[in-house]
Structure 1
Amino acid sequence: MTTTSAPASQPRTGKVSPRVSQSVFDGSRLRVVLLVDVYDGAQQQFLEAYEQLCNQVASVPGHVSDQLCQSIENPSQWLITSEWESAPPFLTWVNSEAHVRMVEPLHSCVRDTRSLRFHVVRETGGPAAHAPMSQRGLQTAPRMGDGVIRHALTFTVKPGSEATVAEILAGYASPEPRVDDTTRLCRTSLFMHGNRVVRAIEVRGDLLSALRHVARQPEVRAVEEAINPYLEQDRDLDDPESARVFFTRAALPAVHHVTAEQEDPAAERHALYYPARPGRGLQLAQLLAEHDEAAADDPRSTVLRSTIFQRDDVVVRLIDLRGGLDAGDPALSLGLMDAAKAAELTTFPDGMSGADAAGRDGDLRHLLKLARMELVTDRRSPEA
């Protein structure tokens, strides 16, 4: 379980790489906006639950301040904003079991919520308005995105059921890619590593609308029901609270994306699973992010794109590359130049630590083999 005392990432300085379209590791301040729709008549209950939550979150490392606002037009609409020293401490908290328990009192009085997270790029006013941006914790430059939102879900299945689950997950009919006039499903890639399942999706438009669209598709619902008996974490999709808790715990956010080159139709998609040592997931994700950013200009690298997903001690790196996974430099494919550093931050499911592997010939290739996930299905929308 993630603890709320994990250290924040070290601030990064210098020019923002134009190759990186998404990253939580800039060291800049974070503004979180939560839009809340409260049940009619439950405003006082909501306010009391918020005050309890506010007292708890005030002691979370990295939290700076928060505000609660009520709409002047519709009393059922509320807005919660909070400021954090940087994104990593917020993600450590919001992805923790402590947070799941902390927000439980809100669920009985809230109809719907929507969470948005923003790096602070510029600001006006205040005592530090004329100080250098680096001293104010502001992002030095805006990132140039590619219009694609990346997200993943992960969960585990009962040992011994892996082949059955893989067959179910590979056999469903693809849902309608068009969500609405502004949102499209672009790609879904599903991998397994032992009994862990990772489903990565790419969306143009609104991620929440896309997730709700997919959940309503009969073919997807049938697959979700079919794998229910094999899940290690029980869920009831007919119970909104059970489904909400499951998918909250399954969320695997993208924390970094870098594109070295444009789309190559011949590129292969692979996923690597890095089981972090307890409490080291965020540090491992940041190390991989720094490597991929530096490697984006390396002509030896066969990696065209890399997306890093992280939650607690689960770190997954999704890569598109030329040739097979073993065709290039294993350090570039693995995303780690140093097997000893891998040993410091990771463990592996066969009981062999990185320290054992680091002392052998081909240690990085061995680590690459241990990290490799098995592809279950990789589907692109015809319009993507």
Structure 2
Amino acid sequence: MTTTSTPASEPLTRQTSHRVSQSVFDGSRLRVVLLVDVYDGAQQQFLETYEQLRSHVESVPGHISEQLCQSIENPSQWLITSEWESAPPFLDWVSSEEHVRMVKPLHSCVRDTRSLRFHVVRETSGQEAAETGKGDLQASPRIGDGVIRHALTFTVKPGSEAAVAELLADYGSPEPQVDDTTRLCRTSLFMHGNRVVRAIEVRGDLLAALHHVARQPEVRAVEEAINPYLEQHRDLGDPESARVFYTRAALPAVHHVTAGREEPHAERHALYYPARPGCGMRLARLLAQQDEAAADDPRNPVLCSTIFQRDDVVVRLIDVRGGLDAADLAPALGLPDAARAAELTTLPTGSGADAAGSQDGELARLLEHARMDLVTDRRAPDA
């Protein structure tokens, strides 16, 4: 059994044969675009709130610059753009409790917002970046597959796991066709102890798909039914309460790679890696490096891997040829050895070997502790 390791500080490199559709670990600069529709009469409140945000974000590590723009056709429409050294520091900032608190005043003066994130691939002049020495251009565009991957995670009260699993497994699937351009492809729901993870795959507009699902009667009914079991209170009838809950529950996809080999009977599994405090992004980067390095190996049982990360919660969704129990341990776990697992996660580890003195035995133990329980996995027809 062999593994390939890359120093965690290096940007990911990629072979053209990898079918990689997504990664935040390229080391290139990030452009964030926020489209804002401000209520009539709320312009001054919006400007005052934005000024407070701007003065704070200037001191956030990784932030380079920011612009506020107003539409020349419709003065109620505003555009906020910011540039960052790379994606990870932005993701750390936007998922922080401080960010949740600071943007709260904005929601009383804006009708709608839409956030878009882009790696910088080409530009007319790199003079500013060269002068600041911050960030690089992305070496080459990644190859996408037209699917957007996103997840939500939350915890339920201990002792309620069985009741919650039954509720989440037994509801009618929403209509997959959202509109002419957006379609739900797959929803996979897993549990690990009292943590719930729901991963979705969408073709088209992710925000439109999320709104579509939230409006479905069968989905609203099950969401209301699990409310009493949630550790974090929410009131779906209160837009602000719902917004804060789903903001905190968001678990973004930070890396996705597929080996480019089709296997109709591949099994979907999810692994939960509770990171040590402050190690979530390092752990996600290491998992991404291992998956990307293994993507061209025809012996690799992992045909597809998506890594989701927020703070110290890291989840890896994998499609495995032949099933997880029969898979090679290192590529299935996605970690090079038990020592790195002990360094970066709170997964229970022993002395580095099982009773028989086997490194494989320790990896098998780690894999079993990381493995999540499947609640439901639903695919839309022709997805």
Report TM bin, short chain: over 0.9
Alignment deviations for residues 176-195 of structure 1 (CA, whole Å, 9 cap, x no partner): 00000000000000000000
One of 332, 353, 357 as aligned partner of 1:359? 353
Q: Does the Cα contact within 8 Å between 2:266 and 2:323 map onto a contact in 1? A: no
Alignment deviations for residues 137-178 of structure 1 (CA, whole Å, 9 cap, x no partner): 000111110010000000000000000000000000000000
Q: Does the Cα contact within 8 Å between 2:189 and 2:198 map onto a contact in 1? A: yes
Q: Does the Cα contact within 8 Å between 1:15 and 1:141 map onto a contact in 2? A: no
Q: Does the Cα contact within 8 Å between 2:189 and 2:375 map onto a contact in 1? A: yes
| Residues 357 and 195 (structure 1), Cα distance of their counterparts in 2 relative to 1, 3 Å cut | farther
- Aligned position for 1:92: 92
| More deviation, 298-307/282-291 | 298-307
| Residues 159 and 136 (structure 1), Cα distance of their counterparts in 2 relative to 1, 3 Å cut | closer
Residue 36 of structure 1 aligns with an amino acid whose one-letter code is V
Cα separation, 1, equivalents of 2:246 and 2:17: 33
Cα separation, 1, equivalents of 2:189 and 2:18: 28
Q: Does the Cα contact within 8 Å between 1:34 and 1:80 map onto a contact in 2? A: yes
Cα separation, 2, equivalents of 1:103 and 1:135: 26
Q: Does the Cα contact within 8 Å between 1:15 and 1:140 map onto a contact in 2? A: no
Cα separation, 2, equivalents of 1:253 and 1:136: 22
Cα separation, 2, equivalents of 1:208 and 1:146: 18
| Residues 110 and 166 (structure 1), Cα distance of their counterparts in 2 relative to 1, 3 Å cut | same
Whether 2:114 is the aligned partner of 1:120: answer no
- Aligned position for 1:341: 340
- Aligned position for 1:64: 64
- Aligned position for 1:297: 296
Q: Secondary structure at the match of 1:324?
A: coil
| Residues 298 and 14 (structure 1), Cα distance of their counterparts in 2 relative to 1, 3 Å cut | closer
- Aligned position for 1:286: 285
Cα separation, 2, equivalents of 1:125 and 1:324: 50
Q: Secondary structure at the match of 1:103?
A: helix
How far does residue 126 in structure 1 lie from its aligned partner after superposition?
5.0
The root-mean-square deviation of aligned C-alpha atoms, in Å, is: 1.7
- Aligned position for 2:269: 270
- Aligned position for 1:4: none
Q: Does the Cα contact within 8 Å between 1:29 and 1:120 map onto a contact in 2? A: yes
How far does residue 125 in structure 1 lie from its aligned partner after superposition?
2.7
Q: Secondary structure at the match of 2:127?
A: coil
- Aligned position for 2:229: 230
| Residues 84 and 315 (structure 1), Cα distance of their counterparts in 2 relative to 1, 3 Å cut | same
Q: Secondary structure at the match of 1:282?
A: helix
- Aligned position for 1:25: 25
- Aligned position for 1:5: none
Q: Secondary structure at the match of 2:31?
A: strand
- Aligned position for 2:310: 311
Whether 2:80 is the aligned partner of 1:80: answer yes
Whether 2:95 is the aligned partner of 1:101: answer no
How far does residue 262 in structure 1 lie from its aligned partner after superposition?
3.6
The normalised TM-score by structure 1 is: 0.93
Cα separation, 1, equivalents of 2:256 and 2:14: 18
1:45-194 aligned at under 5 Å gives the runs 45-127=45-127, 137-194=136-193
Cα separation, 2, equivalents of 1:16 and 1:72: 42
Alignment deviations for residues 105-133 of structure 1 (CA, whole Å, 9 cap, x no partner): 2111111110000000000035369x7xx
- Aligned position for 1:195: 194
Residue 82 of structure 2 aligns with an amino acid whose one-letter code is S
How far does residue 326 in structure 1 lie from its aligned partner after superposition?
1.9
- Aligned position for 1:3: none
| More deviation, 136-145/250-259 | 136-145
| Residues 263 and 21 (structure 1), Cα distance of their counterparts in 2 relative to 1, 3 Å cut | same
How far does residue 222 in structure 1 lie from its aligned partner after superposition?
0.3
How far does residue 239 in structure 1 lie from its aligned partner after superposition?
0.1
Q: Structure 2: where are the runs of 5+ without partners?
A: 1-7
Count of residue pairs brought into register by the alignment: 369
Cα separation, 1, equivalents of 2:235 and 2:178: 25
| Residues 344 and 122 (structure 1), Cα distance of their counterparts in 2 relative to 1, 3 Å cut | same
How far does residue 279 in structure 1 lie from its aligned partner after superposition?
0.4
Q: Structure 1: where are the runs of 5+ without partners?
A: 1-7
| Residues 70 and 28 (structure 1), Cα distance of their counterparts in 2 relative to 1, 3 Å cut | same
